[in-house]
Amino acid sequence: MSRKSRNILLIIVAAAALAVGAAQLVFLVRHPYFRKCAAENGISLREARRAWGRPDQDAEQILGLIYEAGRENWTAVAELAARKDLRSDVCTYYYNLANARLGQLPDRLMDYYQPFERGLFLPVGPQSTPFKIACAGDVWFELGYMPLAERDAMLGLLFSPAHTGPRYLRRLAETNLISGDYEAAAKYLRILLNDPHGRKWAEERFPDRWSPAYKMRIAEKRNLLPQFDVVHGMDQTPIILRILLGANYTNKMALDYLLCYDLLTKDLDAFVGDFDPSLTRSQLYEEAMLIFLAAKGGMSAENFAHYHISQQTFDRFNRFVTIYKRDNGSGRNLGDEFGKTYWYYFYYAVLNEKN
């Protein structure tokens, strides 16, 4: 091969290498959460693509929700979810969780796609995808129910592409720290010490190294723990939430999750039984109570005062009912004005089993 040919070949090889590098850089810029979640699962980008497929902007948004939730950056989670309503169980799940941590779950519930109770609790069972199972424990951890938080972290670790990853190990360590099983927690902390993405976190979590802020965090989480163990089935979410409230009636997140669960499953009898207007209030709850009171003949000034139902909400309800009756319940003229009310959800939301 002549010198000229060799030079041309070198130029072609160098150009190809630059093109590959540029493509990789563009990929990392466009999909930073894909890269971060790969690291959280202890896998390379190539392994991540093989496990999750090549990402698009929707997948990037969902991975961003998972990543930011793992760091409890709830404002970032809420902003990411609001960027685009993907009509996805996982997206709604993190949207609701972020709003609950920001103290605004009932106020924002009807602003977003709600796939019934799946938007509050991702199901864990034979039909569940490993991806959803890996996310399902986040809500239980925030609510203060460590057995299910630990279970789902274990399953997430088992189903993760490399059967490892600091995301799951951090959760397993912390659930045991909160529960007081320091020996089990130390096992996971020692594993994390050998992971560059978990070392610093682990170094600060051994009990003799806790900062004042972390001691306060552990105390706050322990204050949410149930005072006794109970045997329950996989589908008894309301019972678990009531147990949490029995342990600490000031657990507002558990209360709002229970009430929103009742409402999303359209169980108004359960909602009224669980609702204590002295503990929480929201326009969502006013709207639900009006449906119940109208059906039970309880539209009285005393009930309105007891349940904090405002005149404005009552007037809107009357307008909704007037249009509903005029159109024989078709709903064709209700969506624009009332599409984000509980009334519209109650009468027109239909469960989509595929999503």
Q: How far is CA 263 from CA 61, 144, 291, in A?
A: 27, 22, 11
SS3 content of the chain, % helix, strand, coil (to 5): 70, 0, 30
Q: 3-class SS at 72?
A: coil
List the single range of 83-97, 191-205, 219-233 with lowest mean pLDDT. 219-233
Which pTM value belongs to this model? 0.88
Phi/psi of residue 334, each to 5°? -105, -25
Confidence at residue 131, expressed as pLDDT on a 0 to 100 scale:
87
Instruction: Band the pLDDT of 312: cuts 50, 70, 90.
Output: very high
Residue 79 tokens read as 């902003």
Q: Is residue 143 within 8 Å of residue 241, measured between CB atoms?
A: yes
Confidence at residue 272, expressed as pLDDT on a 0 to 100 scale:
97
| Crossing angle of helices 32-40 and 57-70, rounded to 10° | 50
Q: How far apart are CA 137 and CA 121, in angstroms?
A: 9
List, in sequence order, the alpha helices (H) in 195-236: 199-203, 212-222
At residue 11, does pLDDT exceed 60? no
At residue 20, does pLDDT exceed 50? no
Which DSSP symbol is given to 86? -
Q: 3-class SS at 310?
A: coil
Percentage of the chain lying above the pLDDT 90 cut: 75
Q: How far apart are the first and last CA of the chain?
A: 61
Per-residue pLDDT tens digits for 191-221: 999 988 899 999 999 999 999 999 999 999 9
Average confidence score pLDDT of the chain? 90
State mean pLDDT over 215-230.
89
Confidence at residue 327, expressed as pLDDT on a 0 to 100 scale:
96
Per-residue pLDDT tens digits for 133-167: 989 999 999 999 999 999 999 999 998 888 888 99
How many C-beta neighbours within 10 Å does residue 61 have? 19
Q: How far is CA 42 from CA 164, 171, 195, in A?
A: 6, 15, 9
Cα-based torsion angle of the residue sequence 136, 203, 102, 261 in order, rounded to the nearest 10 degrees: 20
